[in-house]
Amino acid sequence: MVFFRSVTALSRLRSRLVQQPCLSGSVRWLQIQSDSEIDLHAQLKEMIPEQQERLKKLKTEHGKTQLGNITVDMVLGGMRGMTGLLWETSLLDPDEGIRFRGLSIPECQKVLPAAIRGGEPLPEGLLWLLLTGKVPSKEQVNALSKELQSRAKVPDHVYKAIDALPTTAHPMTQFATGVMALQVQSEFQKAYDKGIHKSKYWEPTYEDSLNLIAQVPAVAAYVYRRIYKGGKVIPSNDSLDYGANFSHMLGFDDPKMQELMRLYVTIHSDHEGGNVSAHTAHLVASALSDPYLSFAAALNGLAGPLHGLANQEVLLWIKSVVEECGDNMTTEQLKEYVWKTLNSGKVVPGFGHGVLRKTDPRYTCQRKFALKHLPDDPLFQLVSKLYDVVPPILTELGKVKNPWPNVDAHSGVLLNHFGLTEARYFTVLFGVSRSIGVCSQLIWDRALGLPLERPKSVTMEWLENYCKKAA
């Protein structure tokens, strides 16, 4: 497959095509960037007119093509299964899992540049991939890393805004407050107030997005150090890449923790557009709200226990299992505790997904990381036992469409192993990562001129009358 297939002027983009075997044994064609093209903004400026024409042609020639039928169940069930959003940066298949611009997670781990040989992909490389559809070279990733470092200084008023909150405020509340405080520097707002032409909206959005992506690790680290480390802030280390520097500012300099942070930020970045945080950002941005306002809204959705806050709930639940059953629990004891949780009207956190119908590939790659770096960790071994115990029970329950573990089932145990034990903070890490996916799509929302999102809503009476007529 050629990513961004409509980018036909390959000689003009000076890309080279490389044959890359994928995991299934088939051949995938990857667009690999040449080393000399290190200006991400210039690449987008060259690509956007072609993508605008592609969208225009699609709308003109196929605008009336039906994509399926909407049922009452979909209307009443949170719009599950409705195809209703354009989201270029990733696509989620119920059986296969997430693909970033056509690349699965294992493929990303193979082809995206890493900090160390055989290591985890650098988040900067995924950002380049999401924005351009092409696999960057190490030189391009290094250049983007330096650019993000040059944009990373956070204004003092942001920290003062956070400091106005009590330290007991939830970390996500403090993080979202910091992002809102960043908004005063919005280039998009300034350009819009001056009367910028709509064809140029993407350019100040690009500036805001890269600034936001660059600055959120420092804001997130400040929140962590403020709440849990007595306010002792650790300065940025500009010699480190994005993920490693974030780990450093949090206070963790173990190379394995830095590798975990690179993996964590990469795999949590994007999960197509229908999840709460991504959809919220897209919806708010469709009103021409700038990336800061849009991303802050996304964070507030991410903070819900049915979305990003689940990673907090998983570790707390796992620790409650150990507290009640002991370190050497039997399989029967574990089954009993799972049933106890379900019978109390609660869910087993970390299992199930709104779209996926198999084990989340993000869970699988974290499991492989654990097998490589912490195979003897007791909580990891418990997670492995849960993989064998929980799905059969949920299947027996008969109400769960997907009994398999999702991304949240594993991440907290990995973080806990390396010393980041404060579960209430985990969703902030998710938020830092999600900035990469959300902002990449926001740039393309502006470039393609996507309209104000305004779906039609109906009342129960309207549905009842419609169904009577249709009967």
pLDDT in tens, the chain (471 residues): 334 433 333 333 344 444 444 444 433 445 555 555 779 999 999 999 999 999 999 999 999 998 888 899 988 888 888 889 999 999 998 888 899 999 999 999 999 999 999 999 999 999 999 999 999 999 999 999 999 999 999 999 999 999 999 999 999 999 999 999 999 999 999 999 999 999 999 999 999 999 999 999 999 999 999 999 999 999 999 999 999 999 999 999 999 999 999 999 999 999 999 999 999 999 999 999 999 999 999 999 999 988 877 888 888 899 899 888 888 888 899 999 999 999 998 888 888 877 778 888 999 999 999 999 999 999 999 999 999 999 999 888 877 778 888 888 899 999 999 999 999 999 999 999 999 999 999 999 999 999 999 999 999 999 999 999 988
Total residue count of the chain as it appears in this document: 471
Judge whether 241 and 204 are in contact, CB under 8 Å: no
pLDDT for the residue 31: 58
- Residue 468 makes CB contacts below 8 A (sequence gap 6+) with none
- DSSP, collapsed to helix, strand or coil, labels residue 143 as helix
Catalytic residue among 208, 270, 408, 445: 408
Alpha-carbon gap, residue 219 to 421, rounded angstroms: 19
Query: pTM (2 decimals)?
Result: 0.89
Query: What is the torsion angle, in degrees rounded to the nearest 10, for the CA atoms of residue 372, residue 376, residue 377 and residue 380?
Result: 70
Residue 307 falls in the annotated catalytic set: yes
pLDDT for the residue 23: 43
Alpha-carbon gap, residue 24 to 152, rounded angstroms: 40
Catalytic residue among 170, 268, 353, 417: 353
Residue 353 falls in the annotated catalytic set: yes
pLDDT for the residue 424: 95
pLDDT for the residue 181: 98
Judge whether 52 and 448 are in contact, CB under 8 Å: yes
- Residue 194 makes CB contacts below 8 A (sequence gap 6+) with none
- Residue 60 makes CB contacts below 8 A (sequence gap 6+) with none
Count of H-run helices and E-run strands, the chain: 21, 5
Alpha-carbon gap, residue 132 to 285, rounded angstroms: 20
pLDDT for the residue 36: 57
Residue 377 falls in the annotated catalytic set: no
- Tell me the residue type at 71: T
Catalytic residue among 307, 360, 410, 445: 307
- Residue 107 makes CB contacts below 8 A (sequence gap 6+) with 20, 22, 23, 28
- DSSP, collapsed to helix, strand or coil, labels residue 30 as strand
